[in-house]
Amino acid sequence: MSVTEGGRIRVAMVHGPGPADRDGVGDYVERLVRALGDAGVEAVGVPVGSPGARSPWHWLPATLGAARRVRRLRPDVVHVQFAPSAYRFSGLPGLLPPLLPPGVPLVTTLHEYGWWAAPGWVPGPAWRPLERARLWDRETGRLVPASALVVVTNASHARQVRRRLGAAAVEVPLAPNVVDHGGGRQARVRVRDRLGMGREDPLLAFFGFVHPVKGVRQLVEALPALRAARPRLRLLVVGGFTSQALPEAEARAF
């Protein structure tokens, strides 16, 4: 491996093009790159594609371009952050592994997994021989099969990776992308005062971009029953509506 001057490891952090204010994974990657830098690791972000891309063929030159940038970096590790919505549900970024520098370890973090395939019209049983042989993954193409390490954010995704490809995944739960300002008890008091709540009133918080599949509707529907038991309970929704996964018109309608 070619360690950078000063002995620092260089990581090429490959990710989708979503800006941090519209994409939770994009925000996470920005914070991760900074945190790695603070820990003495040179992490360089390599976005795949552009945020406004709509054509499905955009992702072929985008993937090739990202691979060229990675090769120019001469990294010690390539770390791909994978969420299908970040790549507009294109399977083309799954072609990255054979385009990357040979011999450089590949790590893939799965932010979403277990519910789609590219192309979607292929029946599930047709994928199984390819997945068992570690040749192809219906969701990530060559990414997971070619990875030296797969990172998932929950146990359900880890089970799915093992069931499909016979591979063990490392589970790293992702914390909310917020700075901890500390304060403990006083912070709780300040928030409740600002919301006009009693200091012991129960407060639920939904954190993240609001999206139809993230359970906000069900949470709102559950409020009457919850408030029957705890009449002073409040729900606080912390996050935006317009995002990479939910464009402005759809976000407004939802």
* Mean predicted confidence (pLDDT) in 109-136: 94
Q: Is residue 5 part of a domain?
A: no
Q: How many residues does the chain have?
A: 254
Q: What three-state secondary structure class fits 178?
A: coil
Q: Which domain holds residue 101?
A: 10-171
Instruction: Point out the domain boundary residue: 171, 193, 221.
Output: 171
Look up the CATH number of the domain holding residue 48: 3.40.50.2000
CA pair distance 57, 92, nearest whole angstrom: 9
Task: State the average pLDDT for the chain.
Answer: 89
Q: What does the angle CA 202 – CA 203 – CA 205 come to, to the nearest 5 degrees?
A: 155
Residue 4 predicted with pLDDT over 60: no
**75 and 109 share one domain:** yes
**48 and 159 share one domain:** yes
CA pair distance 80, 94, nearest whole angstrom: 10
Of residues 18 and 53, the one with the higher pLDDT is 18
**155 and 215 share one domain:** no
1: pLDDT confidence band, cut at 50, 70 and 90? Answer: very low
- Looking at residue 242, its pLDDT comes to 72
Q: How many domains does the chain have?
A: 2
C-alpha torsion angle, residues 178, 184, 185, 191 (rounded to 10): -20
* Mean predicted confidence (pLDDT) in 207-219: 83
CA pair distance 140, 160, nearest whole angstrom: 13
Give pLDDT tens digits for 64-122: 999 999 999 999 999 999 999 889 889 999 999 999 999 999 999 999 999 999 999 99
Instruction: Point out the domain boundary residue: 146, 171, 196.
Output: 171
Q: Is residue 15 part of a domain?
A: yes
- Looking at residue 214, its pLDDT comes to 80
Instruction: Point out the domain boundary residue: 138, 171, 204.
Output: 171
Q: Are 78 and 106 in contact (CB under 8 A)?
A: yes
Place of tokens 């990776």: 161
